Structures are given as C-alpha cells and as structure tokens.
Structure 1
C-alpha cells in the first residue's frame, strides 16, 4: 500500500533490490516477534496462548 501511494503521488519508486531488502527485513522482524511470543494465533479463547 505504501509503495502504491508513493508511486501514485510521485514521491518515490522502489527498485527491485530495495523491495527484496525490505521484504527480508520484515520477514526477520516478524519471525523474531513470533518466536518471542509477542504475536500469536491462539485458537481457543481461554487457552492462555497455548494450543494444546
């Protein structure tokens, strides 16, 4: 969405290398957050975050 807005307004355009670097950074950050348990997907409302 940010890329589309930047392109439409003429503020900036991301090149392919920049897109790959940004995607890699986002993947690492989301991986760390999920490993640390900061972002979770509990399937049971009262399970306390553990899917047993």
Structure 2
C-alpha cells in the first residue's frame, strides 16, 4: 500500500504532510482525492471484514 501511494504522490494524505486546505477553491479537489484514497484502501481489505 505504501509503495502504491508513494508512486502516486498520495502518501501525504496518510502521513499528514498534505493537509486539508483552507482555500475553498482547493478544498473540493482535496475531498475528491481523499475519497479516492479511502476507496482504494477499502477495496484492499478482505471482503469478509470490509463490512
């Protein structure tokens, strides 16, 4: 997971180096990327424990 997120420059969302912007214009993009990351992580969890 770490390698995949690092290769896409998304690991900062996990370790906190990419923080939630206060600028309203950038906030929507931040929420979009965060949602994609959550979906990626959820899909890697075994289906028997995902629920």
Question: Which of the five TM-score ranges fits, normalised by the shorter chain?
Answer: 0.3 to 0.5
Higher relative contact order (CA 8 A, sep 6+): 2
TM-score under structure 1 length normalisation: 0.44
